[in-house]
Structure 1
Amino acid sequence: MPAKDVLTTEQVHANLAALPQWRYGLGALRTALKCESSAAALALFATIGARAQEANHHPDIDWRYDTLFITLTSHDVGSRVSVRDTALARSISAVAQESGAEAKSELLRTVEIAIDTDDVEAISETWRTALGYKQQDDGSLADPNGRGPAIWFQKTATPNQNRLHLDITVPFSESSPVLEALGASGAVLDPSVSPSWTVATDVQGNRLCICTEKDRDAR
């Protein structure tokens, strides 16, 4: 497909206005569909698979008992959202509605591991080799099978004492209760770059970031 198949961030959000079951983040459309039973989820999985085959465009689907976690992105244009993704999202939403599946956007969380370093090249190959990952154009590491969390390197002249932290991406629409719960757990929140991301530090000094798609371009 040509590069013109790719949608801008503004075009993605315009399409989402007609796709209430879906959320956007990290270069992909995502949804979680909860079904009446495990059997119903498996049947919906099969129907979505048939629709994907007809469209010759295949989503990543994780079946967990009565819930399907679905990710749509176009790998052939650099893992960005294309018109093929929005078209298949509309098709999936239609069959999901027919089956009685319910979208659960609060279940959508994507985990990445960030490593502070002042020399990316010195450590990148070690992590890539150990995990069997592939290096991406931006220098991050990704599981070619889409199962493990991505690894990215936060280059800084002054690495944090705890060099590893998690980036947890949630839909902006679901971020407030997550942050409130973190504050209640005792974490110290730094909202200086919110809503793109909020740094949370636990009582032992370990960090994580709650990230959203708001005001933040996917890497």
Structure 2
Amino acid sequence: MDKVGNREILESIANGLNDWRKLAQPLAARYRTPDTASGAAFVSAVAHAAAVAGHDVPEIRLGPGLVDVSLFTVDGSGARWITPEDLGLARVITLPAHEHGLTAAPEEVTQLEVALDTADDTVAGPFWAALLTGEAGNTVHDTVFDPRNRVPSVWFQRADAHRTPRQRWHMDLWLAPEAAGTRIRAAVAAGSTVVDDSHSPSYTVLADPEGNRVCVCTAVDRD
């Protein structure tokens, strides 16, 4: 599989794919629709464009006033990557979106990933894969992916073995780069504390008023 690196993806976004944003794995777009009929027609156009291109049908969500489209390619191991074909399909999708009167809202794309600190993901992984997806084998490297996308992915963050109780679960909230700062300021205004912003804008660690941590992540400054 011909994979596209994160830097090349960001360059493509800056040069013609302005409707799209890179999240943890997928390339994602959100479009605002003037009415349900326009949204449904766009969804049909996307499915047709994917079929003509020989691409799997993208993940598409049609909701009141919006359409979300998520692009990625799954390799033989189940891992998810962006390929040149994904970038090409993104360019093709952009045209019918505008033809159907849809308006891009890239700052609204969001992906929630759940992270668990573990010293050995080969021990914890099969359990969480079986519980969440029904198949213990749905672990790919350090992540559980549901092939049907019914639940968020679970990422196992490598940590030292420890006896002292501490927070081991946290959420990674992936946002468009232009939305991260606004969301962080809103969280701080609601009582959050910035624990670590030394890696911003790649990720910023926040804690809620009780000390529970969460990472606000973007694709910027990642390989």
Question: Do the aligned residues in 2 keep the contact of 1:167 with 1:210 (CA within 8 Å)?
Answer: yes
- Partner amino acid, structure 2, of 1:181: A
Change (3 A) 1:53 1:15: same
Superposition pairs of residues 29-44 of structure 1, within 5 angstroms:
29-44=27-42
1:216 is paired with a residue of what secondary structure?
coil
List, as ranges, runs of 4+ consecutive aligned residues in structure 1 with deviation greater than 4 Å. Answer: none
Identity of aligned residues (%): 29
For this pair of structures, how many residues does the alignment match? 213
Whole-Å separation in 2 of the counterparts to 1:92 and 1:167: 28
Range 151-160 or range 172-181, more displaced: 151-160
Match of 2:205 in 1: 199
Distance in 2, Cα, partners of 1:76 & 1:210:
27
Give the corresponding residue for 1:12. 9
In structure 2, what is the equivalent of residue 208 of structure 1?
214
Of residues 25-34 and 116-125 in structure 1, the stretch that sits farther from structure 2 once superposed is 116-125
State the shift of 1:74 in Å.
1.7
Tell me if structure 1 keeps the 8 A contact 2:58–2:69.
yes
**1:52 and 2:44 are equivalent in the alignment:** no
Deviations 1:10-52 (A, max 9, x none): 3222221211111112232110011001221111111111111
The equivalences for 1:50-199 within 5 A come to 50-57=48-55, 58-76=57-75, 78-132=79-133, 134-136=138-140, 138-157=141-160, 158=162, 161-189=166-194, 190-199=196-205
**What displacement does 1:120 show?**
2.7
Structure 2 residues without counterparts, runs of 5 or longer: none
2:62 and 2:46 mapped to 1: Cα distance? 12
Task: Give the C-alpha shift of residue 203 in structure 1.
Answer: 0.6
TM-score, normalised to structure 1, is 0.90
Give the stretch that moved more between structures: 68-77 or 79-88.
68-77
- Once the two structures are superposed, residues 170-189 of structure 1 have per-residue CA deviations (whole angstroms, 9 ceiling, x without a partner) of 01122111111111111011
Deviation at 1:198, TM superposition (A): 0.6
Relative to structure 1, the CA distance from residue 82 to residue 120 in structure 2 (aligned partners, 3 Å threshold; closer, same or farther) is closer
Q: Structure 1: any 5+ residue segments left out of the alignment?
A: none
- Aligned residue identity for 1:42: A
